[in-house]
Amino acid sequence: DIQMTQSPSSLSASAGDTVTITCRASQGIRSALGWFQQRPGKAPRRLIHAASSLQNGVPSRFSGSGSGTEFTLTISSLQPEDFATYYCLQYNTFPLTFGGGTKVELK
């Protein structure tokens, strides 16, 4: 199975900051990676697919990059509604696997 190592597990930031979250795959997954945001009590929603393609309706302050085994999600100019938990998902190979999550908290 492909392991997805996501870091950090949590971070504290202020509104207006830029933050970066990383997911590392235990083997190459091409660009078959998505990023998801989950607010408390809500279902996850996809932000990025194919490693770097922005989902329709998602603000452009979210961006993704990477391919192969190393991927990043960058949130520029954090807004109050961005304080949430973020997950990556590799969908290149079954079983699909999620990263452990990154909780972005208000400093």
Partner 1 sequence: QVQLVESGGGVVHPGGSLRLSCATSGFSFSGYDMQWVRQAPGKGLEWVTHIRYDGSSEDYGDSVRGRFTISRDNSKNTLYLEMNSLRGEDTALYYCVTSRGADYWGQGTLVTVSS
Residues that bind partner 1 (CB under 8 A): 1, 32, 34, 36, 38, 43-46, 49-50, 55, 87, 89, 91, 94-101
Based on CB atoms, which residue is closest to partner 1, 31 or 76? Answer: 31
- Determine contact, residues 62/47, Cβ cutoff 8 Å: yes
Select 63 or 76, whichever has its Cβ closest to partner 1: 63
**Which of 14, 94 has the CB closer to partner 1?**
94
Beta strands in 14-106 (DSSP E): 19-25, 33-38, 45-49, 53-54, 62-67, 70-75, 85-90, 97-98, 102-106
In the bound complex, what is the minimum distance in angstroms from residue 18's beta carbon to partner 1? 24
What is the torsional sign of CA 81, 82, 85, 86?
Answer: positive
Minimum distance of partner 1 from residue 56's CB (angstroms): 10
Helices (H), the chain: none
CB of 48 to partner 1, least distance (A): 10
